[in-house]
Each structure stands twice: as structure tokens, then as C-alpha cells.
Amino acid sequence: MSAQIIDGKAFAAALRGRIALQVASFRDAAARAPGLAVVLVGEDPASAVYVRNKGKATLAAGMASFEYRLPADAEQADVLALVQTLNADPAVDGILVQLPLPPQIDERVVLMAIDPDKDVDGFHPVNAGRLATGLYGFVPCTPLGCVMLLKEQLGDLAGLEAVIIGRSNIVGKPLAQLLIGENCTVTVAHSKTRDLSTIVKRADIVVAAVGRAAMIRGEWIKPGATVIDVGINRTEDGLVGDVDFNGAASVAGAITPVPGGVGPMTIACLLRNTLVSAYRRAGLKLDMATL
């Protein structure tokens, strides 16, 4: 193995520490803590664990955590009414509705009901439009974490060729916009892409976000490339990413592990977005360079 392992867990811990310092400054200035509200509908086990971890991280950073649980048979109107209440609550700076939602609820309708200036998940179309046009808005947490790890590893990304495998609204599309903003040359590949291996082979940066275990083979990777594996797939051998880790690590310059790579960055960036929202809503200046 020749690749440097990108330690997302350590980077996320350091970021959470910097966030906690800014939270303390905010509490002194605003006489309250930044507040994150999380809505969980139903009892999906993976979602419940994720919500619990978010709550712990929120409190550890000195923020206020508001958790709302609705039954699996809740009506869409109930969820929308709760979202409107949270939109109007001055103690709440960020609203996150945990996905997936039960089938009787239209996710798009619920996400569009969230105040874009409290949409710390960055999924609202207004924030997607802001990102696409270079305006300030909230960016989805996983792509934001990917770019942070890339810049920590590589410094200036300008001129590098990036290939993103996956075109979801949550990862692929916003990550493409972020990397264009960093002056990368970006290709978004997907299930209909022809000759995927050749496209991946030319990339200085490879980001895999397709949800298929070990789909990206080691021989596809350009020697010295940086590989960011967003995938988390449960297999008989445990959790694995979308990249054949051992094969890729033998040729890549740097690679994220699964687990311990991108995953920890998602919650850290959620806290970052909530902190930014709190400062903006209070009319206070936050030194973004500290984050």
C-alpha cells in the first residue's frame, strides 16, 4: 500500500473543536446557544442512530439540541406544521428533517417548506440555486466535507481534473458545483456513462458516490490520484466503500478509508452550517477562516 490515508475522523474532530470555540463566542455575544432542530418520523433504525449521534455532537459543541419524533403513521400535514413552527422559533438556527420519510409523506414538499436560511442540510432548491450561481447559501454537508478534505490534502485545487461518480442531489451535483468553484475541471459520471474506467483513469481527483460496493477498481485509478470514497455499503465483510480500497490504495496518492473517512465530516459540517446560520441570524460577524 502506497497511498496516504486521509483521516477524516481526526479532521472532523479538529473542526468540531474549532466550532466549539466559536460557539462559546456566540453564546457570550448573543446570550444564547446556536440551536439545531432535528425531526425524525418513524423508527428507522439507521436514522435513529444517526439522529442520536447528531444530538450528541450538537451538545458536545455547546449548542442547543432540539429533537422531535413523530410516529411512522404521521400525516404530511403534521410534519409541515412542525416545520412551520420551527421556522418561526427564534431559538432554532438550523432545521434538519431526517430522510428517508415514510411513503405517505412527500419529501420534496417537506424540504421545500423549510426556511432556506435555516436549511442547514442544504437541500432546499433555493440553496441549490445559490450554490449553482455562486451566491451564499447552505451547502449539503457531505460534499462540503469532501472539499475540506481535498483542500487539506492538496491545497489549491485549481486546474485539477476531478471525476465524480454519482449524480445525486445530495452529493454528486452539489460537489460538482463546489469543485467548479475551486476551478477544477469536473466530469460527473453515472450509470449511463460509457467507458467509465477510461474517464476515471484521467482524474487527479476521484470521488465515488454511487452506493455499490467496490465498484471502482484499483486499476482504474491514475497513479498518484486522490480518492474520496463517499460510499457506505454493508457486506458480509463489514462496511466497505464504493472503491476497491486495497487495489486503489496501491496506486493512489491519498485515499479515504471506509469507515473513518468522509462519514465523520458530515456531522461536523452540519454543526458548521448551524453555527454560520446562528451568526448570520444574530447579525454577528463570524471569521470563516477559523472554520
Residue 88, C-beta contacts closer than 8 angstroms, at least 6 positions apart: none
Cα separations in angstroms, 70 against 38, 41, 49 = 11, 5, 16
Residues marked as catalytic: 54, 98, 121
Find the angle CA(201)-CA(141)-CA(31) to the nearest 5 degrees. Answer: 155
CA–CA separation, 245 and 256 (whole Å): 9
Contacts of 194 (CB under 8 A, 6+ apart): none
HSE at residue 211, side-chain half, CA atoms within 13 A, is 8
Give the containing element (helix H, strand E) for 240. strand 238-240
Could you tell me which residues come within 8 angstroms of residue 26 by beta carbon, excluding any fewer than 6 positions away? 33, 34, 275, 278, 279, 282, 284
Q: DSSP secondary-structure letter at 98?
A: P
Looking only at the bridges linking them, the beta strands covering 64-70 and 233-235 are unpaired
- Per DSSP, the three-state class of 189 is strand
3-state secondary structure of 176: helix
